Amino acid sequence: MWCIDIVLTSCLPSKQELPTITHVSDRIAVGELAPPTSSRSVTDTVNGSHRFVISGYSLAKGMGVGKHIASDTFTVGGHQWAIYFYPDGKNPEDNSAYVSVFIALASEGTDVRALFELTLIDQSGKGKHKVHSHFDRSLESGPYTLKYRGSMW
């Protein structure tokens, strides 16, 4: 048995208007300047996690390169996600020597931004192996953007 843990942070942009004066033209005399107005964009983040348990891992090994086992879909940040586990690797160049693990956007959406960390936990439950973490990325690179349904990272 293997477990795959994911911690996912999804960014949800939203615009919030600050209070402004309405019908400014009714209150401003000709030749006067209108008072400044402002608005702001707020990006909310939503955190979630999912554990995908693979029972009978030894039976899955040998199913073939490019063949995967998918988790049930789960929701974080208003979007559906899934984990894809390839016991013999996703690509032929993996030569069945490596496993591959991906997070995929399972719902409709464009430019969904997310940070995530995938961790493999061995059958004893004690050995944790960080597969990939976007939380370690530099601030300049920001969250990863999944462009469309089926996008994987």
Q: What is the DSSP string of 125-151?
A: S--EEEEEESTTS-TTT-SEEE-STT-
Q: Which residues contact 53 (CB under 8 A, 6 or more apart)?
A: 1, 2, 3
- pLDDT in the model for residue 13: 52
Number of domains in the chain: 1
Q: Quick check: is 103 in a domain?
A: yes
- pLDDT in the model for residue 17: 43
According to DSSP H, which parts of the chain are helical?
24-27, 57-60
Domain that holds residue 119: 2-13+44-146
| Residues paired with 45 in a beta bridge | 11
Q: Quick check: is 113 in a domain?
A: yes
C-alpha 143 chain-centroid distance:
8
Q: Quick check: is 101 in a domain?
A: yes
User: Residue holding tokens 């615009």?
Assistant: 15
Phi, psi for 29 (deg, rounded to 5): -75, 155
Q: State the distance between the two ends of the chain, measured CA to CA, in whole angstroms.
A: 23
Cβ of 119: how many Cβ atoms within 10 Å? 17
- pLDDT in the model for residue 19: 43
Asked if 102 and 84 touch (Cβ cutoff 8 Å), the reply is yes
Per-residue pLDDT tens digits of the chain, which is 153 residues long: 555 666 666 655 544 444 444 444 455 566 677 677 777 766 677 788 888 888 887 788 888 888 999 999 998 888 888 988 888 888 888 777 778 888 888 888 767 777 777 777 777 766 666 665 544 544 455 566 666 566 766
Phi, psi for 108 (deg, rounded to 5): -65, 140
80/119 Cα distance (integer angstroms): 19
